[in-house]
Structure 1
Amino acid sequence: MISFPAKGTHVTVRWGILGCGDVVRKRVAAAIQAVDGCELLAACRRDADSLKTFCDEFSVPRGYPSADQLLADEEINAVYIATPVHLHLPQTLAALAAGKHVLVEKPMALTPTECELMINAAKEINRTLGVAYYRPFYPAIERLGQLIQTGQLGKVLAVQIACSAPIVLEEDGSLPWRVKSQEGGGGPVMDVGSHRIDVLLRLFGDVIDIRGICSRKSPDAVENVATFALRFDDGPQASVTCLFDAVHDPDSWTVIGTQGIVDATPLNSGRLVIRTCDGDQVEHHPPHANYNVPLIADFVAAIEEGRPPHVSGEDGLRVNEVIEQIYRDAR
């Protein structure tokens, strides 16, 4: 179990989950159940058999076939939204209107305007709103930030990143929502690229120039290959290639400075190879075995302490603003 000490009054966060897809089954449900002060009270899925299977697997006492029914449950005080991106705005607004705190999957919404509506709604009723970007909690990212801030790499010149996500067909053989533009908002830029954008913004600050190239299998499809370049206010440039369909995820991350290079490939491993004039140094900073546990723990602490979570709605908005400009330039 992991717990973050709270300064405020202790509360039990009783969670309901909207959407029981892969990410929830693999990590989110177990993460909620692993954090002190949390109770996974309910889940929602339209398919009755799938809902029962999920509730049985994770010993969830309440299963609801509709979001409205789950949100009407007065014992639930926080909702994790893990549905397709086009549902994030309406479901977040409905959850907030029902008085719940909301942690929403990434990307936060389809557009920056939608993100702003979600942020304003949370502020109006004084509820906590967070976005499920979990890589800021990686110890390797914290260490990378230290190397950059202390100047051990000299002046950072460039960052090179490549990442991919598989496309798995639904049980009936149909395409998943991630490749449907009306449901997911885009392809790998929205899906896996958003994670990298979030970390880059945290490490290097404001973006002052954005370029994007997107390739599609057909004119009406989302991109399956995208490369974008970001130039930051303090000078560094980042180039990111994100893909659907690649057999292996390169998960590469290389930072190049005037005095050194850090290779954090694969990023999910936590292994850093630091190359300077003094030679190579290998460090290991593995993430939590369940990536979502520190994210959930911080969100609960934010509720207790009356502060914004480490990954706030404003952070989600910044990522969506960059994504929108990438797509605009690519067009």
Structure 2
Amino acid sequence: MNEIRWGIIGCGNVTEVKSGPGLQKANGSRLTAVMRRNGALAEDYARRHQVPKWYDRAEALISDPEVDAIYIATPPSSHMPYVLDAAKAGKPVYVEKPMAMNAAECETMMQACHEAGVPLFIAYYRRALPRFLKVKEWLEDGAIGDIRTVLTTHLAKTHPRDLSGDAEVWRVQPELSGGGYFVDVGSHTLDLLDFLLGPIAEARGFASNQEGIYAAEDIVSGCYTLESGAQGVGTWCFNAGMNLEQNEIIGSKGRIVFSTFAEAPIRLIRESGIEELFIDHPAHIQQPLIQTIVDELLGKGHCPSRPESAMRTSRVMDAMLQNYYAKSNS
């Protein structure tokens, strides 16, 4: 095999620019089919993106002999069922983040793919982006010495779509998303820190709903200890009066400051001075990670976003949200 033919389940907004074109443009990769329950929308996507086939049933796409691998781009509530179906069909799976509704579902998915001998990859694509690879290089070179602590601040204004009935509102419906924006976007930061610094050994948190617009939490404060012994704290607030998002990794000889989401410079700050680099994101932000998946499936490389690390991120989120959903379900 010298090419991977992809099928997408759930060709919504994330597939328009971030991922879908990456499946078409990665070397050794081709997008063959798409599926959406609304057949008219699936047909429209296929026409606009020059995809040969479209379906309105996932089982039809999964069973298509011209689809070698499945990309699942639906809300988290359907990740596990679709992964299990793809595993039964013996097809590799690339699933959107967060991996599932919780860590228990992640474990079920991992077990099913292991038993079927099917590779499973997760869309924590920041692990393959050049700017974060540079941060990792600084850390591995000892640029800031031994890591002491990590500070994460993620503040965002209430999003108008949460008040308007926009379809994107599923992101704050816990029965569909597993939580609120902390689960949707905070997962990226937690996974990135796992990639840069190693696994989190223990985490605790407090979550609440301050504004009362939706059922999910809108603020989370958490603390954790890394296996390395370093400690970290974070605040994710999605009802603030401003937008501010950054991470600060502090070591014995300096610190590194960077944003998970904003296209802002990464900064290495030491007594000798400040090194500031601006590294552009690619046009299709998932394409570098998709390339690593294709290369691995073709026997030419290794993807850095594994189900084991994605499950660790889900465990951390479960721990930080435990108090909120225990109260909600009592």
Normalised to the residue count of structure 2, the TM-score between the two structures is: 0.89
What residue is the counterpart of 2:289 in the other structure? Answer: 295
Q: Are the aligned partners of 1:16 and 1:80 in contact in 2 as well (CA < 8 Å)? A: yes
Distance 1:219 1:271 in 2: 34
Equivalent positions of 1:107-256 (< 5 A) are 107-163=98-154, 166=159, 168=161, 173=166, 176-216=169-209, 217-218=211-212, 221-244=215-238, 249-256=243-250
Q: Are the aligned partners of 1:253 and 1:267 in contact in 2 as well (CA < 8 Å)? A: no
CA drift at 1:84 = 1.0
Distance 1:248 1:26 in 2: 27
Out of 8, 12, 23, the residue aligned to residue 14 of structure 2 is 23
What residue is the counterpart of 1:312 in the other structure? Answer: 306
More moved, 213-222 vs 200-209: 213-222
CA drift at 1:112 = 1.6
- The one-letter code matched in structure 2 to 1:224 is D
Q: Secondary structure at the match of 1:26?
A: coil
State the identity as a percent: 29
What residue is the counterpart of 2:35 in the other structure? Answer: 44
Out of 77, 80, 91, the residue aligned to residue 89 of structure 1 is 80
Q: Are the aligned partners of 1:189 and 1:226 in contact in 2 as well (CA < 8 Å)? A: yes
What residue is the counterpart of 2:46 in the other structure? Answer: 55
CA drift at 1:321 = 1.3
Aligned CA distance change for structure 1 residues 267 and 183 (closer, same or farther; 3 Å): closer
- The one-letter code matched in structure 1 to 2:137 is Q
CA drift at 1:49 = 2.5
Out of 253, 257, 263, the residue aligned to residue 269 of structure 1 is 263
What's the CA shift string for 1:248-278, capped at 9, x where partnerless? Answer: 6533122222321222146542622222111
Q: Are the aligned partners of 2:163 and 2:213 in contact in 1 as well (CA < 8 Å)? A: no
Aligned CA distance change for structure 1 residues 15 and 254 (closer, same or farther; 3 Å): same
What's the CA shift string for 1:32-90, capped at 9, x where partnerless? Answer: 11112111111111123322221111011111111112112111111100111010000
Q: Secondary structure at the match of 2:291?
A: helix
Distance 2:294 2:167 in 1: 37
Distance 1:50 1:153 in 2: 50
- What do you get for the CA RMSD once the two structures are aligned? 2.5
- The one-letter code matched in structure 1 to 2:225 is R
Distance 1:299 1:202 in 2: 17
Aligned CA distance change for structure 1 residues 69 and 267 (closer, same or farther; 3 Å): closer
The size of the alignment, in residue pairs, is: 322
Q: Are the aligned partners of 2:207 and 2:320 in contact in 1 as well (CA < 8 Å)? A: no
- The one-letter code matched in structure 1 to 2:218 is N
Normalised to the residue count of structure 1, the TM-score between the two structures is: 0.89
Distance 1:251 1:219 in 2: 22
Distance 1:252 1:48 in 2: 40
- The one-letter code matched in structure 2 to 1:252 is Q
Structure 2 unaligned residues grouped into runs of 5+:
none
What residue is the counterpart of 2:272 in the other structure? Answer: 278
Distance 1:249 1:128 in 2: 38
Distance 2:143 2:203 in 1: 27
- The one-letter code matched in structure 2 to 1:191 is D
More moved, 244-253 vs 311-320: 244-253
What residue is the counterpart of 1:5 in the other structure? Answer: none
Structure 1 unaligned residues grouped into runs of 5+:
1-9
Aligned CA distance change for structure 1 residues 136 and 175 (closer, same or farther; 3 Å): closer
Distance 2:191 2:160 in 1: 22
Distance 2:155 2:257 in 1: 18
What's the CA shift string for 1:159-206, capped at 9, x where partnerless? Answer: 222336746369964662111111111112211111111111122223
Aligned CA distance change for structure 1 residues 259 and 172 (closer, same or farther; 3 Å): closer
